[in-house]
Structure 1
Amino acid sequence: MAERRTLSFATLDRVMPDVDQLLEGHETLGNWSLGQICNHLATGITGSVDGFPFRTPWIYRKTLGAVRRRRVFQTGRMATGVQLPSRFCPKPGLDARAEAEALRATLRYYAGYQEPLAMHPIFGELTRDEWSRLHAIHCAHHLSFVLPRGSGN
């Protein structure tokens, strides 16, 4: 069985070249298609600009949220197998190319947004640099489950 890619993005401008390569041919590991992954990533990036529909209680953000935040930023990795509430999971059957273009547009929206960003629903307040790094980590996490066709890994 194939293993996930080891993937990291130094900046968000490296995400779409990877997605574009995957659109040429890929196989996915895990539960989501490339279209679902792109949709999920776009939703998270949009949330950092427009706000999220939920927020954990401040005591959680200051305690367990702070611990999780430190771990993500120190390791540059996200935990695998975290169960999202179903309302935050992308619908099946999404078109990979259409969702990739939506992700591209969302990345442009984020890059051009100059106002203060929203609060992270679990980690609390983040600077723009922290948001950008978190988005790059989040993109690498999910896209590591998609292998370019013919990669052998």
Structure 2
Amino acid sequence: MTTRRRLITAGGVVAGATALGIGVFIATGQRRFETLDDARRAVVPLAEKPLQTTGAWNLAQVLNHAAQSIEYSLDGFPQPKPALFQATVGHLAFALFDARGAMHHPLDQPIPGAPALAADASVPDAVQRLLAAFDRFERHSGALQAHFAYGALDKPAYARAHLMHLANHWAEFSPG
């Protein structure tokens, strides 16, 4: 079987599993969200049935962190890396993540310059914040702000970045 045929076949399996609502994991074992609606469907139940996290942040902190990232793509990141970094290292990192369909970053690393994530935040409030950020991102029709590390991304690339970011953090979730 050729590489192209394997990719087409694998894509069909992923698309079919996604259509059936089955959690999709890529080669790294990481969950994958194909669309913001996929992510929304996974996040909504967390308000009623929260998952535990195995990392340094609790569920509300993780969800608020994901919301911050989306909000900053619209409003601007507080401490962007230098333009040279964004155009070289950052651009290449995003290209690699995008090609693999998965992102890997330190899961307890805050967005540079972002306010601290409150440990006592409510999970339902964090779910609502993330859902509102998804909605705001989808409705946004203007220019997007440069990512603090990756630099300028168009809306489809930013959507993929947000989905990969959430999926990367999802790896720390376990049933309560």
TM-score (norm 1): 0.85
Q: CA deviation at 1:80?
A: 3.8
Q: The residue matched to 1:49 in structure 2 has which SS? A: helix
Residue 100 (structure 2) pairs with residue 71 (structure 1): no
Based on CA coordinates, which of the two structures has the bigger radius of gyration?
2
User: Deviation digits for residues 13-34 of structure 1, max 9, x if unmatched?
Assistant: 1112212333414221111111
- The amino acid across from 2:77 in the alignment is F
Whole-angstrom distance in 1 between the partners of 2:110 and 2:39: 23
Match of 1:144 in 2: 171
Aligned: 1:117 with 2:144: yes
Match of residue 65, structure 2, among 33, 40, 46: 40
User: Partner residue of 2:75?
Assistant: 50
Distance, in Å, in 2 between the alignment partners of 1:94 and 1:62 is 36
Cα shift readout 1:44-76 (whole Å, capped 9, x = no counterpart):
000111111121111111221122111111112
Q: 2:36 — aligned with what?
A: 12
**What is the match of residue 122 of structure 2?**
95
Partner of 2:87: 62
Structure 2: which 5+ runs fail to align? 1-27
**Structure 1 partner of 2:106:** 81
Q: Percent identity?
A: 26
Tell me the matched-pair count: 146
Q: Deviations over 1:91-148 (max 9, x none)?
A: 2111111110111111111111111111111111111100011111011111221123
Q: 1: CA distance between counterparts of 2:64 and 2:156? A: 22
SS at match of 2:174: strand
Mapped to 2, the partners of 1:86 and 1:48 lie a distance apart of 13
Q: Give the alignment partner of residue 154 of structure 2, picking from 95, 118, 127.
A: 127
1:19–1:130 Cα change, 3 Å: same
Q: Report the TM-score, using the length of structure 2 for normalisation.
A: 0.75
132-141 vs 5-14, which moves further: 5-14
With a CA cutoff of 8 Å and minimum separation of 6, indicate the structure with the bigger relative contact order. 1
**Unaligned runs of at least 5 residues, structure 1:** none
